């Protein structure tokens, strides 16, 4: 089955196939299109091809690349807002398996961060409001996808405004995380119970050690060569020069192993172990079997609040970061396997139009998650399908009883994980290269943080962007050209 079947779409972003120098990115194929085989046999063969591991250990490691975002958000909402953890694990596990089979790349399934940030900061934004926001967001994205309007939306929403919202939400996550680390928190009641002690199973020293460990392994987020063979031949040549070089090469191998560790996953496992140590009787509260999946009951107030405080700030993030940016990044990382904005919009929409009615956390794709899984070695759909299978097993075997363990989870460790999730989201704004774009982004961020409303920040950012565009209007430069100015070098 050719890897070029998606190129039949007329999307302008897939007209050129970039050449990748990464040896694990897959073979670069010709730009000629082939006819898609929609027969049962053809579909089965395509699914098999998409789920095949390129490298066993690399794909397993890559499956952990997105947990640094998934774990802290879902965990925090489970403890603070009584999110149905069992249902969320089951539905997100199915999403991972299906998207892996469809796309054949490590397509991430991430919580909608803006909705999560609103839920964590507002005690009145509960499960009905979260699910209403997810349904409305998913429905809007689905309609934009199937009607072909996604391209128009892409042209109308400036990237600098979206980056401003991302920066604000990332900083909001980070500030909340610092509170979790610094002070003892009662997450369900969102109350501080005083300063955290230095020692103990949930002390400051433990949180600092976890933070340092993640920084040592991940650095500032640079691309780790966890599985690459780059420099292997050079190392072999150096081995002939003497024992000191061999010792240096062994050190380099140890460094590569250390830097490839799934740090967030290991810290999470440590937190689970400490949860049992803090209250070992919790093991008797675990009940095996899936949790009951019930339809969420919505009120008119929940729909209204979910739309105003959840959908409005989340929608621009979903449109650009979960659809447009993923389309662009997938073509860069996986030449010959470009996907259209329409296909991604449909999958994001369906995930939320189905799962949110039953209490599953609103989900989307994300360029950061795709880059993270690729960085740690994920190259195929089998990477995320493996992660999905693990979620599905946990959801079916332990269900909501897993929340009893999470109630004892060290909040300091949760704060460390949430801190890195927030920083990762905020760092998306680093591609604003012009002073004008940076001005719009920071204006949007400031209003969002001070006004505690990403929707207000989005509105102010759009107004400032239009004003700056009008200032650039001249007789020989039509207004339409100024408004539709593209920033391809920033996407």
Buried b (16+ CB within 10 A) or exposed e, 80-118: bbebbbbbbbbbbbbbbbbbbbbbbbbbbbbbbbbbbbb
In a domain, 252, yes or no: no
Is residue 320's pLDDT more than 50?
yes
Residue pair 361/92 in contact (Cβ under 8 Å)? The answer is yes
In a domain, 12, yes or no: no
Distance between CA 51 and CA 101 in Å, rounded? 6
Q: What is the pTM of this model?
A: 0.70
Distance between CA 325 and CA 166 in Å, rounded? 13
Per residue in 162-189, pLDDT tens? Answer: 788 778 877 887 887 888 777 665 554 4
Distance between CA 328 and CA 346 in Å, rounded? 17
pLDDT of res. 242: 56
pLDDT of res. 402: 78
In a domain, 397, yes or no: yes
In a domain, 417, yes or no: yes
In a domain, 108, yes or no: yes
In a domain, 407, yes or no: yes
Position 325 confidence tier, pLDDT thresholds 50, 70, 90: confident
Percent of the chain with pLDDT over 70: 77
Is residue 306's pLDDT more than 60?
yes
Per residue in 43-96, pLDDT tens? Answer: 788 888 888 877 776 777 678 777 767 877 888 888 888 889 899 999 999 999
Tokens encoding 232: 């292997």
Is residue 211's pLDDT more than 60?
yes
In this structure, the number of other CB atoms found within 10 A of the CB of residue 51 comes to 18
Number of domains in the chain: 1
Distance between CA 162 and CA 315 in Å, rounded? 10
Per residue in 357-413, pLDDT tens? Answer: 999 999 999 877 787 777 667 888 888 999 999 999 989 998 877 777 777 778 788
pLDDT of res. 97: 94
In a domain, 180, yes or no: yes
pLDDT of res. 7: 45
Is residue 158's pLDDT more than 80?
yes
Classified as helix, coil or strand, 9 is coil
Q: Which of 187, 257, 200, 243 is nearest to 418 (CA)?
A: 187
In a domain, 458, yes or no: no
Distance between CA 359 and CA 455 in Å, rounded? 24
Classified as helix, coil or strand, 409 is coil
Domain around 293: 45-219+257-430
């Amino acid at each position: 089955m050719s890897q070029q079947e998606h190129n039949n779409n007329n999307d302008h972003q897939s007209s050129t196939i970039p050449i990748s120098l990464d040896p694990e990115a897959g073979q670069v194929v010709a730009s000629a299109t082939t006819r898609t085989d929609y027969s049962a046999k053809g579909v089965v063969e395509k699914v098999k091809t998409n789920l095949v591991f390129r490298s066993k250990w690399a794909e397993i490691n890559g499956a952990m690349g997105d947990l640094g975002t998934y774990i802290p958000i879902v965990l925090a909402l489970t403890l603070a807002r009584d999110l149905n953890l069992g249902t969320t694990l089951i539905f997100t596990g199915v999403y991972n398996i299906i998207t892996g089979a469809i796309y054949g790349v490590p397509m991430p399934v991430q919580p909608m961060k803006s909705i999560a940030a609103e839920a964590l900061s507002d005690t009145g934004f509960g499960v009905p409001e979260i699910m209403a926001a997810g349904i409305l967001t998913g429905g809007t994205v689905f309609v934009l996808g199937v009607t072909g309007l996604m391209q128009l939306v892409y042209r109308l929403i400036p990237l600098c405004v979206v980056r401003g919202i991302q920066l604000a939400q990332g900083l909001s996550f980070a500030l909340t995380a610092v509170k979790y680390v610094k002070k003892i928190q009662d997450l369900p009641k969102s109350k501080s119970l005083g300063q955290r002690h230095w020692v103990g199973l949930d002390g400051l020293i433990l949180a600092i050690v976890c933070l340092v460990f993640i920084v040592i392994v991940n650095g500032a987020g640079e691309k780790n060569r966890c599985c690459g063979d780059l420099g292997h031949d050079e190392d072999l040549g150096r081995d002939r020069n003497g024992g000191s070089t061999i010792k240096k090469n062994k050190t380099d191998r140890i460094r590569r192993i250390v830097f490839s560790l799934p740090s967030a996953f290991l810290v999470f496992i440590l937190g689970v172990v400490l949860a049992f140590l803090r209250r070992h009787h919790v093991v008797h509260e675990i009940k095996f079997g899936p949790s009951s999946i019930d339809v969420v009951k919505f009120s008119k107030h929940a729909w209204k609040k979910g739309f105003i405080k959840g959908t409005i700030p989340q929608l621009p993030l979903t449109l650009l970061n979960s659809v447009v940016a993923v389309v662009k990044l997938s073509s860069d990382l996986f030449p010959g396997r470009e996907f259209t904005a329409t296909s991604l919009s449909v999958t994001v929409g369906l995930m939320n139009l189905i799962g949110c009615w039953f209490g599953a956390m609103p989900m989307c794709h994300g360029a950061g998650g795709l880059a993270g899984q690729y960085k740690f070695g994920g190259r195929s759909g089998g990477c995320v399908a493996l992660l999905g299978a693990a979620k599905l097993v946990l959801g079916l075997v332990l269900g909501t009883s897993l929340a009893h363990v999470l109630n004892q989870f060290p909040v300091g460790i949760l704060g460390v994980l949430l801190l890195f999730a927030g920083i990762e989201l905020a760092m998306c704004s680093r591609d604003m290269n012009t002073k004008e774009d940076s001005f719009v982004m920071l204006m949007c961020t400031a209003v969002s943080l001070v006004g505690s409303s990403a929707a207000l920040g989005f509105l102010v950012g759009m107004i400032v962007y239009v004003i700056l565009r009008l200032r650039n209007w001249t007789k020989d430069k039509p207004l339409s050209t100024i408004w539709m100015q593209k920033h391809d070098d920033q996407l």
